[in-house]
Structure 1
Amino acid sequence: MTEPEPEPQPQPLRVPMTVVSADGTPLACERTGEGPPVVLVGGGLSHKGMFDRLTDALSGRFTVVTYDRRGRGGSGGGGGGEPGQYSIDRETEDLTAVVGALDGPVSVFANCTGGIITVRAATRGLPLARLALYEPPYGAPPNPPGYLDRLRRLVARGRRAEAVTLFWRESVRFDEDVIERLTAHRAWETFLDLAPTLVHDGVISERHAAIPRDALHRITAPVLVLGGSLSPRWIQDTCTTLARRIPEARYTRIRGEGHVFPQEAAAPLLRDFFLS
């Protein structure tokens, strides 16, 4: 005799919303749950739907707002394949617009390059109740010479699969077996759709990778820095530096995890932090 299948759980209602950034770019957002607002900011090759498991875990206590960074999903503001058309300052304006559209003190969780965007916004006056970061890639080893130009050319020629694997191989530095698994992943077509935005993250990693040591004291909100115990030493050192230089910050390593953000393992840590 087998056990009966569990009753399907109702999914939280996701309410679409649009926020317009300072330069007129529309940003596609989703709002889920009720409670204090928490905005989730993604990293490379991600869109708002990739935070579904974290959204579900937090939406019982918070109003969770996810959004497609510019050039992704339903948001405007592409142009990643052409030189001179991307600025990280437009992305800080985007985050500022999303936060400004919400009522009450707003907290933010940001992953990977989304963390660099969010730290930049926070040091420039974006008011936050609390800020959580997962491994913002400050201090990453330099990309190989010509990486960004090669990436731009591949995107401009429509060779998206090559652009994605170039990013994984030369920027993130995944092992070949990991790349092979990812190319067979069910999200592969989504990765291809997002390939032009790799230029955006390439600009961030090449031009904004230095830890803004002299500006971190301006972040007055409590900060939780999260990282994986299996991540490379340089990213662990970065997380340690951020936790030491931001006035009210602490660093927690998640055992057995690496640079890929572990939504289930991080969810209770984020829930407790945002409630504290």
Structure 2
Amino acid sequence: MTEHITSRDGSTLAVDRVGEGPAVILVGGAFNDRSTVAGLAAELASNYTVLTYDRRGRAESTDKAREAGGDFDPANELDDLAAVLEHAGGHAHLFGHSSGAILVLEGAMRGLPADSVAIYESPFRADPDLPHPPADLLDRLTALAEKGDRDGAASLFLAEAIGLPPEIVSGMKHGPVWAFFLGNALTLPYDVGFSRPSELVDRDRLGTLTMPVLAVYGDRTSPNLAAGAKVVAESVPGARLAVLPGEDHGVLQHPQALAPTLIEFFG
């Protein structure tokens, strides 16, 4: 069932609800919309009321701030999450994948009513010895998005935020996924604005979280993303760390591999 709710600035958010039980909200990362977490929602629906939504500016959700000439302010996405939480009944378990993981952690640190928080491979810069994107990535990405250059924004993000070689990016442009990427490419400054990949993560700030927290990564993922999950488990008092065998950053394509870990954690 798809419903449309209104965020603080008047943006409309498309929200799907499935299942019965305690509320769980799933938040995808860069290039993702509610369709990419639908498989995981289906896996959880026998235990929970699962809500998924299109982040602002993606698929059926609007972005009134950008339409009015405003900046890519991450605070607007926190307002969106607050609106979905209210729609869920005022509180919920939260799960975030990739930059969506940082979004839900940031929401919890700012006092949004999260019963617990589970994250998968939050792209924090956690290890100063590992490669990281340049400090001007957000400025260049924002400039491309403001010009409406979907191809340029997607290419830059994949090359410099993710670190894919040029030949891989070129190959993706000839595959079916590229059209989907282009559809959400103009929202990428939100993802980089949350993750701030050129700055080391603030471990002390993560340490202020008091609700149950689970950090998950796959044993086939990149060292950067593994470190980004581990730093959450190391920094949050009482947090748990789980490693999924055989999985990488594309775990949402294998929701059956992730769902049991979340069900055990959410309870």
Task: Provide the TM-score with structure 2 as the length reference.
Answer: 0.87
Alignment-derived partner of residue 261 in structure 2: 269
Q: Measure the CA separation in 1 of the matches of 2:41 and 2:145.
A: 31
**Greater mean deviation of Cα atoms: 183-192 or 243-252:** 183-192
Alignment-derived partner of residue 192 in structure 1: 182
Q: Measure the CA separation in 2 of the matches of 1:101 and 1:221.
A: 21
Mapped contact 1:80–1:197 kept (Cα < 8 A): no
Alignment-derived partner of residue 110 in structure 1: 96
Q: Measure the CA separation in 2 of the matches of 1:75 and 1:160.
A: 18
Query: 2:112 is paired with a residue of what secondary structure?
Result: coil
Q: Measure the CA separation in 1 of the matches of 2:264 and 2:204.
A: 30
Which of 99, 117, 120 pairs up with 1:131? 117
Q: Does 1:171 align with 2:161?
A: yes
Alignment-derived partner of residue 76 in structure 2: 90
* AA at the equivalent of 2:98: C
Cα distance 1:181–1:38, how it changes in 2: closer, same or farther (>3 A)?
farther
* AA at the equivalent of 1:66: T
* AA at the equivalent of 1:67: Y
1:180 deviation in Å?
4.5
- 1:183-221: CA deviation from partner (whole Å, max 9, x where unpaired): 344332121111101122232233895423222233222
Q: Measure the CA separation in 2 of the matches of 1:82 and 1:260.
A: 34
Which of 226, 235, 250 pairs up with 1:245? 235
Q: Does 1:235 align with 2:221?
A: no
Alignment-derived partner of residue 38 in structure 1: 24
Query: 1:40 is paired with a residue of what secondary structure?
Result: strand
Which of 54, 59, 72 pairs up with 2:40? 54
- 1:30-52: CA deviation from partner (whole Å, max 9, x where unpaired): 11111111100111001111112
Task: Provide the TM-score with structure 1 as the length reference.
Answer: 0.84
* AA at the equivalent of 1:267: A
Mapped contact 2:125–2:200 kept (Cα < 8 A): yes
| Identical positions, percent | 34
Alignment-derived partner of residue 218 in structure 1: 208
Mapped contact 1:30–1:65 kept (Cα < 8 A): yes
- 1:145-173: CA deviation from partner (whole Å, max 9, x where unpaired): 64334333433444322321221111111
Query: 1:218 is paired with a residue of what secondary structure?
Result: coil
1:255 deviation in Å?
1.7
Cα distance 1:200–1:248, how it changes in 2: closer, same or farther (>3 A)?
same
1:222 deviation in Å?
1.3
Cα distance 1:73–1:184, how it changes in 2: closer, same or farther (>3 A)?
same
Cα distance 1:119–1:208, how it changes in 2: closer, same or farther (>3 A)?
farther
Unmatched 5+ stretches in structure 2: none
Q: Measure the CA separation in 2 of the matches of 1:171 and 1:237.
A: 15
* AA at the equivalent of 1:268: P
Q: Measure the CA separation in 1 of the matches of 2:247 and 2:91.
A: 31
The number of aligned residues is 261
**Greater mean deviation of Cα atoms: 148-157 or 162-171:** 148-157
* AA at the equivalent of 1:64: V
Alignment-derived partner of residue 247 in structure 2: 257
Cα distance 1:127–1:52, how it changes in 2: closer, same or farther (>3 A)?
same
Q: Measure the CA separation in 2 of the matches of 1:268 and 1:80.
A: 38
**Greater mean deviation of Cα atoms: 76-85 or 58-67:** 76-85
Q: Measure the CA separation in 1 of the matches of 2:80 and 2:53.
A: 10
Q: Measure the CA separation in 1 of the matches of 2:32 and 2:88.
A: 23
Query: 1:171 is paired with a residue of what secondary structure?
Result: helix
